[in-house]
């Protein structure tokens, strides 16, 4: 094997970003809905997303730069992470457009809103699962901001649950981000139990 060794300090911007987003794949998508201080809805996908803690239940996503999602969360302390499924690829992509704060991305993408249970921001009605969150912490990191939210409600469509109430990933049919404009959808899986 011949490796190309790249020193990140020697690469001009945005090459480190492009390299990392091509190597750290696939990345789940946090489709984040928020309200601004005036109550206007915002919806945007963020592809740096994961679970930060199970107890307490905290998820995190990264805002690359100071975007509307981050500003709204800082102003209100609430957000919803909606699951982007394969069926929602086109509307999810439509909400990635750069739009002024007064534009409602739900309307822009032709998406129906659904009231949340414990937080003010809307859920995406067609999303098979949504995590209602209260802001836990925002951590500045380089040119980005890691947003951590305590999950107060998980709203999951009954049709994607097994008999034990556990979500089945093949029924969720989640999208994940690759590099550039490429996405991957649910495909072949390998079941490999952890050694004891």
Q: pLDDT tens, 92-136?
A: 999 999 999 999 999 999 999 999 999 999 999 999 999 999 999
13: in domain: no
| Close Cβ partners of 51 (under 8 Å, ≥ 6 residues apart) | 58, 59, 60
Res 80: pLDDT? 99
Query: Does residue 178 sit within a domain?
Result: yes
What pLDDT, on the 0 to 100 scale, is given for residue 47?
A: 97
Domain for residue 45, yes or no? yes
Is residue 10 included in any domain, yes or no? no
**Residue 189: per-residue pLDDT:** 87
**107: in domain:** yes
| Cα 133 from Cα 120, distance rounded (Å) | 10
The tally of domains found in the chain comes to: 1
Give how far Cα 104 sits from Cα of 42, 167, 188, Å: 6, 30, 36
pLDDT in the model for residue 27:
97
User: Any idea what DSSP says for residue 125?
Assistant: T
Residue range(s) defining the domain that contains residue 45 = 27-182
Please check whether residue 145 lies inside any domain of the structure. yes
Per residue in 20-30, pLDDT (tens digit) is 999 999 999 99
Please tell me the distance from the alpha carbon of residue 48 to that of residue 148, in angstroms, as a whole number. 12
Q: Answer yes or no: is 108 within a domain.
A: yes
Question: Tokens 């994961």 identify what position?
Answer: 50
> Which residues on neighbouring strands pair with residue 82, listed in sequence order?
31, 130
pLDDT score recorded for residue 8: 95
Digit-coded pLDDT (tens) for 25-60: 999 999 999 999 999 999 999 999 999 999 999 999
pLDDT for res 153: 98
The predicted pLDDT at position 176 comes to 97
Predicted confidence (pLDDT) at residue 194 exceeds the cutoff of 90: yes
CB 76 within 8 A of CB 138: no
Asked whether residue 98 is domain-assigned, the answer is yes
Nearest-Å Rg of the Cα atoms of the chain is 17
Q: Which of 112, 119, 110 is nearest to 151 (CA)?
A: 119
Of the pLDDT bands very low, low, confident and very high (cuts 50, 70, 90), residue 77 is: very high
Confidence of residue 188 (pLDDT cuts 50, 70, 90): confident
CATH of the domain at 153: 2.30.110.10
Distance of CA 64 to the CA centre of its chain: 12
């Amino acid at each position: 094997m011949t490796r190309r060794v790249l020193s990140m300090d020697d690469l001009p911007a945005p090459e480190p970003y492009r390299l990392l987003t091509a190597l750290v794949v696939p990345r789940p998508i946090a489709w984040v809905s928020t309200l601004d201080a005036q109550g206007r809805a915002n919806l945007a996908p963020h592809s740096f997303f994961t679970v930060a803690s199970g107890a307490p239940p905290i998820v995190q996503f990264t805002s690359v730069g100071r975007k509307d999602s981050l500003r709204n969360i800082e102003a209100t302390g609430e957000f919803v992470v909606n699951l982007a499924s394969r069926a929602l690829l086109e509307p999810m992509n439509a909400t990635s457009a750069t739009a002024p704060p007064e534009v409602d991305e739900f309307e822009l993408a032709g998406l129906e809103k659904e009231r949340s249970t414990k937080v003010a921001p809307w859920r995406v009605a067609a999303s098979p699962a949504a995590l209602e969150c209260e802001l836990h912490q925002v951590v500045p990191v380089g040119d980005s901001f890691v947003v951590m939210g305590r999950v107060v409600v998980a709203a999951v469509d009954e049709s994607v649950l097994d008999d034990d109430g556990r979500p089945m990933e093949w029924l969720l049919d989640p999208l994940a981000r690759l590099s550039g404009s490429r996405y991957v959808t649910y495909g072949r899986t390998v079941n490999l139990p952890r050694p004891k």
